[in-house]
Amino acid sequence: MDFNDTPEEAAFRQQVRTWLDANATRKSDDKTSIRARVDDPELLKKAKVWQDKKAQAGYARITWPKEYGGLGGTPIQQVIYSQEEANYLVPLGFFDIGLGMCIPTLMAYCGPEVLGRYVKPALHGEEVWCQLFSEPAAGSDVAGIRTRAERDGDGWVINGQKVWTSGAHYSDYGIIITRTDPGVPKHQGLTMFYIDMKSPGVEARPIKQISGAANFNEVFFTNVRVPDSQRVGEVGQGWKVALTTLMNERLAVGTPAGGVDVDELLELARDTELEDGPAIRNASVRGKIAEWYVQSQGLKYTKFRTLTSLSKGQQPGPESSIAKIVAAPKMQDLGAFAMELMGQAGIMTRDVPGAGAFQQQWMFGAGFRIAGGTDEILRNIVAERVLGLPQDIRVDKDVAFNELGKK
């Protein structure tokens, strides 16, 4: 693995730093960052302004073709920009799904007319996209969805429900996976569309979280009419299209940006007094910190391996799932341990060490272990596609969807 920038990469990094210095505010030592808060409409406005500024400079999506507003650059250049932007106070989180998952799916399956209409507005932050996959009855089984799309003349009528849809309540468009043929095995009867989230019959209901935020939704579809021109891929080939989205999702979700980690936990342990003295001198505390430090270093070098592959023009494969398998439980466990160190103050989210960051991370961690693929799904991916282990037995593989559960 080569951890150093090439001369060309170093020059690009300096170019990015110069632009960011001129257009954004560098973070202070307290590592404060601006994250997407969906209950703050002003932040969405600021995020759109920042996104447009990035797009005008060509930094919004560096690897995209120049005709769609990108730089036509390399994946490693995109990584370099993301690394540098992380050092500045900028609004984050509103466009990750659209630019990381939805638009790349359209680019893979739609024609020039569709791309000419939707890519640049998304890139410049004029329009926000969401991904409508998960359903209450399907769990982690994306192919088990029940939302129906039925032919009606030259269009389709959609009825059903999605859940855990991030940003649906402020999104302009979304990609949706539907069941168009229940008479064939579940993976074969799916079709994907993109829809206007302001269409009659679409209702997004934010789900209040234990943290007080409400950044994802349940979304209901009642006789929503969609023209066939908004179909993504062929009828019945929705699973193939969805795999494109899911692969992009694995890369887009990866490991969470920001948050508290071992350094912050070390600081808390130094400042916390236990019955036998400072927490940092307690053997059990030191052991836990050492364990998470080792995991952090493993994640760091795994990411370096990915960066080295990108710098050579290679694309990450299913092994990218490993990072989230480690990062998500670590994120939740570290937050819980920090709360225990705080004692009774651990249940507070204000006026406590770290301004409640450990508490917020603990509450967010449970959702992160689901978003972008559950722990179990990702382990299966690594087992089957990286280690070459045999697949789980599937008794429903050749059974029509409408026959499932009848026996």
CB-based burial of residue 321 (10 Å sphere; 0-12 exposed, 13-18 middle, 19+ buried)? buried
403/361 Cα distance (integer angstroms): 42
Q: Which two tokens stand for residue 249?
A: 């999702």
Q: Which two tokens stand for residue 333?
A: 């466990």
Which DSSP string do the residues of 149-199 spell out, in sequence order? EEEETTEEEEEEEEEEEETGGG-SEEEEEEES-TTSBTTTSEEEEEEETTS
First and final CA of the chain: distance in angstroms?
54
Long-range CB pairs of 196-205, under 8 A, 24+ apart, other chains included: 196/172, 197/130, 197/168, 197/171, 197/172, 197/173, 198/172, 199/224, 199/225, 199/226, 200/224, 200/225, 201/158, 201/225, 204/165, 204/168, 204/169, 204/171, 205/169
- What does residue 350 show for φ and ψ, rounded to 5 degrees? -135, 155
| Catalytic residue numbers, as ranges | 249
HSE-up of 392 (CA within 13 Å, CB side)?
11
190/169 Cα distance (integer angstroms): 25
Q: Which residue has the tokens 């080569």?
A: 2
| Summary count for the chain: helices (H), strands (E) | 12, 12
Torsional sign, CA 126, 132, 136, 141: negative
Q: Which two tokens stand for residue 50?
A: 């920042």
Q: Which two tokens stand for residue 80?
A: 């370099």
